[in-house]
Amino acid sequence: MTTDDNTLVLILAGGVGSRLNNLVQTRAKPAVPFAGIYRIIDFSLSNVMNSGLNQVGVLTQYKPLSLMRHLGGGEAWDFIGRRRGVKILPPRTGSQDSDWYQGTADAVRQNIDFIKAHPSKELVILSGDHIYRMDLDDMLEFHRRKNADVTIAMMVVPKEDIHQFGTGITNDEGRIVEWEEKPEVPRTNLASMGIYVFDTDYLLQLLGEDRAEVDFGMHLIPKAIERDDVFAYPFHDYWRDVGTIQSYWQANMDLLEEHSGISPESWRVRPNIESSVKGSADRPPARFLPGATVHRSLISAGCTIAGEVYNSVLSPGVTVAKGAVIRDSILFHDVNVAAQARVDLAILDKRVTVHQGAVVGHGNNKKIPNNKYPSHLYTGISLVGKEATIPAQVKIGRNCIIAPWSRAEDFPGPELASGETL
């Protein structure tokens, strides 16, 4: 790691993330818990820290309070001192909708004063909602070696997924010669990761040319490719955009696979264990009571396990009572699963209570999509919102959504059929 004072980093953390459904009803997507003790943005911040970069601006917008609380003053990632720091950059909101960020490029444009106040040779732009490890210092060296105006991190993805990304066709030197944003019929499997290095002066010039150009992938990148030197930085390691329920669930499950390529600890990803009222630092070690069974699962500090846990990720403070069974699930902080209850293929937000004998993930029909959000839940995963209560003996089917703060009296009967929304 080398210390780089000529580079400024901007992390885009303002997206709504609506496909994560009720996981983002009370928080920004980058603030969603991940892998027990982390939040999604910890991965981008740790990449910046481990690459020796010192000045970071985090562009927030949608429900930013939990994210701002989590970032604090940047101490968890060593962004403290006279020449190091993290600055929260909210939109300059006024009375018009247009005062909000209109796109990725517009978000950066609205913070030109911050860029000019931190003079830099290069500007690194990251997303705050990806799970990966990258040596940004190596990408900067590549950018300088190519004498590029813009460098875009790119990786090969399956053809069936390419429609979700910006795509580039490169020549033998790695220069991007053609670009398509989210093509319906792709001509390449090389996808943009949404990670850019710009020469700062070049980006400022580009942003000043046309204020109607509000998005990097749709507007600025195609223009730069047409006129100037844009190169693809090849990336071959683990990377996942966790913008959907399925991809978020899969990334958590990858933690439990020995050869999946994800390893937050060896990647030196840092959480902020002091960021909540009862952070991980205040929790006792996990307790496994007589008769408990745990198989291929991640169990965080403060958990108490008396029942059975299989292939699941449990955040700090989860309680699994005797006779309860957790399978293929993700449980956030301080979830309480009572005796004889069952949670199967589900994501439970913070402080959910599943009372005695209740079932979340009932039945075998995983192909009935959610009736209200069919594009969000269609693989069998059910979602239970923050601080919801599941009454005793109630059975909740597959692809169901339970709203945050739901109470026993909100349930229409003893069973919620697969695909239903409460």
Q: pLDDT by residue (tens digit) across 310-358? A: 999 999 999 999 999 999 999 999 999 999 999 999 999 999 999 999 9
Distances from the Cα of 114 to the Cα of 102, 149, 302, 319, 413, angstroms: 18, 21, 41, 45, 55
Q: Are residues 344 and 236 in the same domain?
A: no
Claim to verify: residue 139 and residue 176 sit in the same structural domain? yes
- Domain of residue 346 covers 280-416
Identify each DSSP E strand in 31-81 by its residue range. Answer: 33-34, 38-39, 53-59
Closest CA to 330 of 309, 341, 314: 314
If pLDDT is split at 50, 70 and 90, which confidence band does 279 have?
Answer: low
Residue 325 φ/ψ, nearest 5 degrees: -130, 125
Residue 95 — pLDDT band, cuts 50, 70, 90? very low
Q: Are residues 247 and 284 in the same domain?
A: no
Under the banding of pLDDT at 50, 70 and 90, the label for residue 80 is confident
On whether residue 398 sits in a domain, the answer given is yes
Q: Is 70 exceeded by the pLDDT of residue 1?
A: no
| Cα 66-126-179 angle, rounded to 5 deg | 135
Determine the Cα–Cα distance for residues 369 and 392; give it in Å rounded to an integer: 25
The CA-based angle 301-254-140, given to 5 degrees, is 100
Q: Which stretches of 215-297 are assigned E, i.e. beta strand?
A: 230-234, 239-241, 287-288, 293-295
**b vs e for 294-324, b when ≥16 Cβ sit within 10 Å of the residue's Cβ?**
beebbbbbbbbbbbbbbbbbbbbbbbbbebb
| Residue that is last in its domain, among 254, 271, 297 | 254
Task: State whether residue 209 is helix, strand or coil.
Answer: helix
* Gap between the Cα atoms of 301 and 39, Å rounded: 16
Same domain, 194 and 311: no
Residues 249 and 376 in one domain: no
Same domain, residue pair 293 and 232: no
Total domains in the chain come to 2
Whether residues 162 and 227 fall in one domain: yes
Are 336 and 230 part of one and the same domain? Answer: no
Q: Is residue 113 part of a domain?
A: yes
307 and 368 part of one domain: yes
Assign residue 198 the CATH number of its domain: 3.90.550.10
> Do 249 and 375 sit in the same domain of this protein?
no
Q: Answer yes or no: do 204 and 74 share one domain.
A: yes
Is the pLDDT score of 251 beyond 70? yes
pLDDT, the chain, mean: 91
31 and 144 together in one domain: yes
Domain boundary residue, one of 215, 238, 254:
254
For residue 309, the surrounding DSSP H or E stretch is: strand 308-310
Note the pLDDT tens digit of each residue in 349-384.
999 999 999 999 999 989 999 999 999 999 999 999
Q: Please report whether residue 267 resides in a domain.
A: no
CATH of the domain at 391: 2.160.10.10
pLDDT exceeds 80 at position 298: yes
Query: Regarding predicted confidence, which is higher, 319 or 181?
Result: 319
Is residue 12 included in any domain, yes or no? yes
**One-letter identity of residue 197:** V
Q: Would you state the structure tokens that stand for residue 71, as one six-digit string?
A: 């970032």
Q: Which residue has the higher pLDDT, 402 or 276?
A: 402
Token code pair at residue 283? 């929790």
- Please state, in angstroms and rounded to a whole number, the distance separating the CA atoms of residues 44 and 131: 8
User: Is the Cβ–Cβ distance between 370 and 419 less than 8 Å?
Assistant: yes
**pLDDT at site 5:** 74
> Residue 384 and residue 401: Cα distance in Å, rounded?
6
Residue 270 lies in a domain: no
Per-residue pLDDT, 278: 57
Among 220, 254, 288, residue at a domain's last position: 254
Q: What is the pTM of this model?
A: 0.93
Q: Is residue 268 part of a domain?
A: no
Q: Determine, yes or no, domain membership for 269.
A: no
Which stretch of DSSP H or E encloses residue 227?
A: helix 221-227
* 136 in a structural domain: yes
Average pLDDT in the 64-78 region? 88
